[in-house]
Amino acid sequence: MLLYLRLAWRNIWRHKRRTINILLAMSLSLGMMMWYDGLIDGFNNAIYGNAIRVLGGNIQIHAAGYREKVDSNPLIPLTDDAAVVQAALAQPDVISATRRIQTGGLLSNREGAFGVSIIGIDPEAEAAPIKEGNDAGKPLSLIAQNIKDGEWLTADGGDVILIGRGMADVMDVKVGDRITMVGSDIHKQNRQRTMTVVGIYDIGIPSLERQTVYISLSEAQALFGLDGQSTEIQVNIKQLGEEDKVVSALAPALPGYEVESWNKNYPELETAINSKGAAMTIFGIIIISIAAIGILNLLLMAVYERTREIGLLGALGMKPRQIATLFVLEGALIGLVGAAAGVVVGLIINGISAQVGLDYTAYASMSDYMALINSRIYPSMGLQNLGWRAGTVVIISTLAAFIPAREASHREPAEALHYV
C-alpha cells in the first residue's frame, strides 16, 4: 500500500498546474463553506441571541395550564417560584433565572387607547451583566441596554412605566408624561393606574416597541393582586442551541410546571433560523458538486494522457484492480490536500472577518429580527461543521476518482502500449 501511495502522490504532481488549480478550487470551496458557517453563527448570535434577550430568555417556565390559555394572557401564579428558580440555577448550563409577570392591557391618553403586553420585571436582575456565553458582560435584558431617553426601572420606583420608542411616537409622550394603564387582576377585575413614563427604549423594531411595556415586578404584583408571586421564570443558558438539552434535564425536576424553549413561544424566529440552514445546505451541495466535477475532469485527463503508462503497468503484471486502486488513491490524496488547504483558507478568512466584522445595517429593514443586529455581524471561526465538511470533500474527491479508475483498469495492455 505504501508503494501505491508513493506512486499516487508522484502522479498527481506530474501536471502541477492542473493539480494546483483543482486544489485551489477545493480549498476555496471548503474555505467559503467555513466562512458561511461562521457567518450563519454570527447571524444567530446577533439576531437569535438578541431576540432571546428581548423576548424572555432561552426557556420559559409557567404553571400548568398556561399553554392552553396563552392567547388570553392568563395570570396563573407559580406555586413556588423561589423553588423553581433554585431548580433552574442548579442546572450547569443555566446562567440566570429571573421572575416575571406577563399579561395584557391597555395604555391610554388623549391620543387614544392602545393594546399592549405588560411585563413586570425584576429591574436589578434584568440589568445585571451576563456572566458567561456569547453575550458575557452585556445586560441580561436587551431593553436595559437600549434606554434612549430617561432611565431604567428600579425595584421600588412606584407607579412608573418604561415604554418603547414606537409607542412614545404613537401616543406623543415623552419622559415625565403621565399615561393611564388598564389591566385585569388575578380575579379578572379591571385595575387602572396612572403611570409616569420613566424611560423610553429603542431597539429598532417599532412593532415590538408599540406592543410591549415594562413595569417593576413589585408594581405588577400590587396592581394585579399577586402578593409576592410571579407567573413566569425566564431562564437564560450559556450556549445558544442547547435549549432542548436543558429542557430535558429541567422538566423532570419541575413536575407540575410547563418548561418550554423559546421556539414554542416564537416559532417565527425558529423558521427564520431554519431557512438559513436550508440555504447553507444548498450552497454546500453546489460548491461540492463543482469541486467533484473538477476532480473528475483532472483524473479523466490523466487516464488519457497516461494511456501508454497504464499499458506498461499492465504488461508488467499489475492487475486491473491494482491500477484502479492507484487512481482512487490519487483522488483521495487530492481530497486530503484540498481539505487541509481549505481549513487554512477558512481559518484565515474567518479570523479576519471575526476581527473586522461585516456591516449589515443596510439590511436592518428587511425584517423585525434583522433590526436586532446592532450594526455589524462578527462571524465565528466556522468550526461547528468542519469535521463533516472536510470529510465530505475527501469522500467526494475519492468517489469522483472511481470513473477514471474504472476507465484505466479496463484498458488492454497491448492496445494501450500502441496508443499515440
Higher pLDDT: 416 or 12? It is: 12
As a whole-number percent, the residues of the chain with pLDDT over 90 amount to 37
Mean pLDDT estimate for the chain = 82
Higher pLDDT: 313 or 104? It is: 104
Q: Rounded distance, CA 292 to CA 338, Å?
A: 12
Q: Quick: pLDDT tens for 154-213.
A: 988 889 999 999 999 999 999 999 999 999 999 889 999 999 999 999 987 788 899 999
pTM equals 0.69
Instruction: Give the pLDDT band (50/70/90) at residue 310.
Output: low
Question: Is pLDDT of 343 > 60?
Answer: yes
Higher pLDDT: 214 or 383? It is: 214
Q: Tell me what pLDDT residue 89 has.
A: 95
Q: Rounded distance, CA 384 to CA 242, Å?
A: 14
Q: Quick: pLDDT tens for 206-263.
A: 888 999 999 999 999 999 999 999 999 999 998 877 889 999 999 999 998 999 988 7
Q: Rounded distance, CA 304 to CA 416, Å?
A: 10
| Cβ neighbours around 325 below 10 Å, total | 17
Domain definitions of the chain by residue range: 2-48+271-417, 59-239
Question: Is pLDDT of 407 > 90?
Answer: no
| Lookup result for grid cell 497491448 | 414
Question: Is pLDDT of 106 > 80?
Answer: yes
Q: Quick: pLDDT tens for 127-164.
A: 999 887 667 788 889 899 999 999 999 988 889 999 99
Beta bridge partners of 179: 195
116 neighbors 164 (Cβ within 8 angstroms):
no
Burial of 129 (0-12, 13-18, 19+ CB in 10 A): exposed
Written as nine digits, the cell of 247 is 429542557
Highest mean predicted confidence (pLDDT) among 84-98, 299-313, 360-374, 389-403: 84-98
Question: Is pLDDT of 274 > 70?
Answer: no
Beta bridge partners of 97: 235
Question: In the predicted model, what is the mean pLDDT of residues 45-68?
Answer: 83
Tell me what percent of the chain is helix, strand and coil, each rounded to the nearest 5. Answer: 55, 20, 25
Residue 195 DSSP code: E
